[in-house]
Chain A
Amino acid sequence: MSTGLNDNEIISKVLSGDYQAYAGLVNRYQNYVFTLTLRIVKNREDAEEVAQDVFIKAYKYLADFRGASKFTTWLYTIVNNTSISFLRKKKLDIHSLDNEKIFEMADNQDSGMRANMVEQKSKLAMVNEAIGLLNPDDAQIITLFYKAEQSLEETAQVLGIEVNAAKVRLHRARTRLKEKMETYYAEEVRNL
């Protein structure tokens, strides 16, 4: 329906009253938005709720998108704000999440199967799991930069920080990711 159109063309259609055209944007970016929210809220059900909220907010305020930046940059700014508001509402301190506890929880969930699964687990699944063990800030910047196809400048814009600060944060996040991979997936890292 709207798959051949670019983002701005779809937005023009939606703004001129064709609300069904919005499905084109939802289908195009649902995985990106869901992955980002999942990295921040760390729970699939909550992430789906937040991601839906993001698309609904984006629709409601679509007239405010002036095209000064990419649509995705604007959309991911809504993802960032909505996810952080959600965490605040749940009274979770995003900075105090204990990574080791998160890992223990994840580890306990599949403790029986883990030994057999380690060998079968693909490298990509290992990376995804390792990102899941990072704190929300680190996971978010890695996801924005690598999966959401945002440049360093756009990533900084989404997070509301300076480009240099984004560069430093990304570097620290990658260092922590590497540490997590070496600590919890030493075998897989050796076989890389």
Chain B
Amino acid sequence: MKENHVNSPLGAGGIEERLWNFIDGTVSAKEKSVIEQLLQSNAEWKEKYNELLQINELLQSSDLEAPSLRFSKNIMEEISKLHIAPATKSYINKKIIWGIGFFFIAMLVGFLIYGFAQMSLTGGEETILSKDIIKVDFSKFFSNTWVNAFMMINIVIGLVLLDNYLSNKRKEFRKQV
């Protein structure tokens, strides 16, 4: 039973995968002790382990490539002409992001509520969903008091956001001047 498990290439991830995890140190304590036992008792595992260990050591000791000698100088010349950009969080106003998000969610929720309110769930085949979408009279949507009130609220929120944005721009402009 144990031998089958050991020799199965896919069983519990296959020998190589389990050995790589063992070498990387990403195995659980239980798996670690199982593998340590296998390495002591099974020649195939021992041989494979030595092979992978050699590759691992080679990879760890391999050299880095070096760029040309002018590399660092070129970069310093370039950055001497640049300015560090202000941190993103300093110019992105989270209130505006939340406001825009709220605006769209409120629109979606409003339309969904209105849509569901128009459905007659007890009317069998006469529900709004059963009608041909092309035949829907959209003009009704915009002559409804609730829709008009909802649209008005959205327009007010939109204007508040625009005002907020423009006043921030004005402040920035004054600062620059």
Contact = CB atoms under 8 A, between A and B. Distances in A.
Interface of A: 14-15, 19-20, 22-23, 26-27, 30-32, 34-35, 38, 47-48, 51-52, 55-56, 59-64, 123-124, 127-128, 131, 142, 146-147, 152, 167, 170-171, 174-175, 177-178, 181, 192
Interface residues of B, number: 34
A38 B65 contact: yes
B71 A51 contact: yes
5 contacts: A31-B66, A34-B64, A48-B68, A52-B74, A59-B75
B84 A63 contact: yes
Given A124-B61, A128-B63, A174-B20, 13 more contacts: A23-B76, A26-B71, A26-B72, A26-B75, A34-B64, A34-B71, A52-B75, A59-B79, A61-B85, A64-B85, A152-B26, A171-B16, A192-B58
Interface in B19-62: 20-21, 24, 26, 54-55, 58-62
A64 B20 CA distance: 36
A64 B87 contact: yes
B62 A178 contact: no
Contacts of B79: 19, 22, 55-56, 59
B80 interface: yes
Interface of B: 16-17, 20-21, 24, 26, 54-55, 58-68, 71-72, 74-76, 78-80, 82, 84-88, 90
A128 B82 CA distance: 36
A48 B67 contact: yes
Contacts, number: 100
Nearest to B50: A192
A127 B59 contact: yes
Nearest to B90: A63
A26 B73 CA distance: 10
A158 to B, nearest CB: 17
B60 A146 contact: yes
Nearest to B87: A63
Contact of B62 (A47, A48, A124): A124
A55 B75 CA distance: 7
Contacts of B59: 127, 142, 146
Contacts of B71: 26, 30, 34, 48, 51-52
A63 B62 contact: no
Contacts of B16: 171, 175
B85 A27 contact: no
A20 B64 contact: no
Give the residue among B65, B82, B84 with the most A Cβ atoms within 10 A.
B65
Contacts of A47: 65, 67
A56 B75 CA distance: 7
A142 B62 CA distance: 11
A48 B73 CA distance: 13
B84 A171 contact: no
